[in-house]
Amino acid sequence: MANHHHTENAADAHAGGLKSYLIGFVMAVILTVIPFAMVMSGAFSKGVTVVVISIMAAVQMLVHMVYFLHMDRSPEQRSNVQVGLFSLLIIGIVIVGSLWVLHNMNVNMMH
């Protein structure tokens, strides 16, 4: 037991360090403040604001997955990444289907 050496690989050192959490937190705050400021200032058109909010939301999801959920490209995380991608596919299908139904209802009700 005295000779027991604890070895850490890069993924273990990256997962959960205070520096990692602080970087993730700062990035998440920045990615939240920018769209909030755009909406509150009203200086940009609605189209530009929606595009920026969508991009910032996607980037923020990636930040959360990497810095807080510790998902990366390592073989140990492959199943988690696959489940995440499948979840995104299902969410996309639900959103697109809902928008399609609402659009068709609007078209049918207006004519």
Residues, the chain: 111
Q: How many whole angstroms separate alpha carbon 84 and alpha carbon 62?
A: 11
Q: How many whole angstroms separate alpha carbon 61 and alpha carbon 48?
A: 20
Residue 14, number of CB atoms within 10 A of its CB = 16
pLDDT digits (tens, 9 = 90+) for 8-46: 444 444 556 899 999 999 999 999 999 999 999 999 999
Asked whether the predicted pLDDT for residue 1 surpasses 70, the reply is: no
Q: How many whole angstroms separate alpha carbon 11 and alpha carbon 71?
A: 10
- Give this prediction's pTM: 0.66
Q: How many whole angstroms separate alpha carbon 110 and alpha carbon 86?
A: 36
83: which 2 tokens? Answer: 């489940």
3: which 2 tokens? Answer: 């000779």
pLDDT digits (tens, 9 = 90+) for 42-72: 999 999 999 999 999 999 999 998 999 888 8
